[in-house]
Amino acid sequence: MPSSLASTPALAQRLRGVASSPVRDLLALLDRPEVISFAGGLPAPELFDLDGIRAAFDAVLSTGAGRRHLQYAPTEGDRDLRTLVARRMTDRGLPTGPDDLLVTTGSQQALTLLATALLDPGAVVAVEEPTYLAALQCFQLAGARVVPVASDDDGIDPDDLADVLARERVTLLYLVPTFANPTGRTLTAERRAAVAGLAARYGTWVVEDDPYGELRYRGTPVPALAAQPGAADRVVHLGSFSKVVAPGMRLGWLRAPAELRRALTVAKQAADLHTSTVDQAAAAAYLGAADLDAHVRGLCTAYAARRDAMVAALPAALPAGSTWSDPDGGMFVWARLPGGADTADLLRTALAHDVAFVPGAPFHAGPPDRATLRLSFTTNTPDRITEGMARLGRALRP
Ligand code: PMP
């Protein structure tokens, strides 16, 4: 035994570059019932189909097969669930079979598996700027260098992407092409074709993260990036039940070319063996018994009214000269304040007025635009949104 105590064991190097967000501490203050929060990207809990989900769990645990659903199971995922998910994807214009899919513990796990399977330390990941915060964290944890690509109201800019691809050896391009987090923007069909063409030309993997695509409140669906000609051997499409059924089930899936899917399956074995058997069985029972399309239509009706309430309140709530997105679907409005505002500072003032949002800086891979903020409109009713936006207006008044 050494005579003196050694210092605390060190953390892994890879954790060094991953910043913890100071905003997290502020958001901990949200837990007061008087705060109207536009911060979390949470679906509305009162719209969960509690009866349908309870019935599905009851059904799978009440049959003779009930014990099987409590047992270990193959990593690839429940075959009935994959069959039902593949059918829905095919109906939505992305031809898919059950064997094309790997069930994941939320689509967040798919991001981790992709980072494990594809990213060596120092690998370059290109992302639209701004992008989903937890994807940035995931790529940074893998030791990747994340390079931002400019985007506008139509999504990622193919010209800037072409420049980045010509300049850097990009291993993976990460996109949320439909109703993006945090901007709410959708990549146009023309740009999808351009992105697929560029990825094929430069030999880049593309991750199409699509948790929001079914939440469309107006306009017509745009075909998936994975459905573009030439995309089949390089685009990985991620889906999730989190926004259309319930995030607590932690159920997602990925659709990937065969060879990559096998590597991702090995990575998943090492991560968690498989996603919860009973949750997968219940989800399959739910998809078999409930009318998920009708449920999603109900969500869209409710969320459209919430989006409208928020967008209607923005001109009075934000200072003159502000800009914002008016999303066709999803959960978020992205706004920018004029005059060198720093929304992290303004969050303190907003919380003093019992209203919250997420400052935009952490969504940036490059130098952050601190005048930006994300407002989620799904968690509150239209009346609460109107009240919350009035509070925000008072908080932002000079
Ligand atoms: N991707 C994006 C773009 C998201 O917004 C989220 C959740 N906020 C996820 C992935 C993770 O979702 P899941 O619950 O399926 O893990």
Atom of ligand 1 nearest to the CA of 252: 15
Atom of ligand 1 nearest to the CA of 109: 16
With helix as H, strand as E and coil as C, how does the chain read?
A: CCCCCCCCCCCCHHHCCCCCCHHHHHHHHHHCCCCEECCCCCCCHHHCCHHHHHHHHHHHHHCHHHHHHHCCCCCCCCHHHHHHHHHHHHHCCCCCCHHHEEEECHHHHHHHHHHHHHCCCCCEEEEECCCCHHHHHHHHHCCCEEEEECEECCEECHHHHHHHHHHCCEEEEEECCCCCCCCCCCCCHHHHHHHHHHHHHHCCEEEEECCCCCCECCCCCCCCHHHCCCCCCCEEEEEECCCCCCHHHCCEEEECCHHHHHHHHHHHHHHHCCCCHHHHHHHHHHHHHCCHHHHHHHHHHHHHHHHHHHHHHHHHHCCCCCEECCCCECCEEEEECCCCCCHHHHHHHHHHCCEECEECHHHCCCCCCCCEEEEECCCCCHHHHHHHHHHHHHHHCC
Q: Tokens for 87?
A: 């059918």
316 CA from centroid of ligand 1 (Å): 31
What one-letter code names the amino acid at 238? L
Evaluate whether 395 touches 355 at the Cβ level (below 8 Å).
yes
315 class by beta-carbon count within 10 Å (0-12 exposed, 13-18 middle, 19+ buried): exposed
Pairing of strands 155-156, 170-175: unpaired
What pLDDT, on the 0 to 100 scale, is given for residue 14? 80
Q: Which residues contact 25 (CB under 8 A, 6 or more apart)?
A: none
107 CA from centroid of ligand 1 (Å): 6
Evaluate whether 15 touches 142 at the Cβ level (below 8 Å).
no
Mutate to test the pocket of ligand 1, among 138, 208, 240 (most ligand atoms within 8 A of CB): 240
92 CA from centroid of ligand 1 (Å): 20
- Residues framing ligand 1 (Cβ under 6 A): 41, 106-108, 132, 176, 181, 209, 211, 240, 242, 247, 252
Mutate to test the pocket of ligand 1, among 102, 108, 238 (most ligand atoms within 8 A of CB): 108
Mutate to test the pocket of ligand 1, among 207, 209, 214 (most ligand atoms within 8 A of CB): 209
* Tens-level pLDDT at each residue, the chain (398 residues): 555 778 888 888 887 766 666 566 666 777 788 999 999 889 999 999 999 999 999 999 998 889 999 999 999 999 999 999 999 999 999 999 999 999 999 999 999 999 999 999 999 999 999 999 999 999 999 999 999 999 999 999 999 999 999 999 999 999 999 999 999 999 999 999 999 999 999 999 999 999 999 999 999 999 999 999 989 899 999 999 999 999 999 999 999 999 999 999 999 999 999 999 999 999 999 999 999 999 999 999 999 999 999 999 999 999 999 999 999 999 999 999 999 999 999 999 999 999 999 999 999 999 999 999 999 999 999 999 999 999 999 999 87
Mutate to test the pocket of ligand 1, among 103, 242, 275, 363 (most ligand atoms within 8 A of CB): 242
In Å, how far are 141, 156, 184, 197, 355 from 42, measured between CA atoms? 24, 25, 14, 34, 16
1 CA from centroid of ligand 1 (Å): 48
What pLDDT, on the 0 to 100 scale, is given for residue 17? 64
What pLDDT, on the 0 to 100 scale, is given for residue 32? 85
pTM of the model: 0.96
12 CA from centroid of ligand 1 (Å): 26
**Dist. CA 91–CA 345, nearest whole Å:** 46
Evaluate whether 343 touches 337 at the Cβ level (below 8 Å).
yes
What pLDDT, on the 0 to 100 scale, is given for residue 196? 97
Torsion of CA 318, 302, 31, 15, to 10 degrees: -80
282 phi/psi in degrees, rounded to 5: -65, -40
Structural domains of the chain, with CATH: 15-49+294-396 (3.90.1150.10), 51-289 (3.40.640.10)
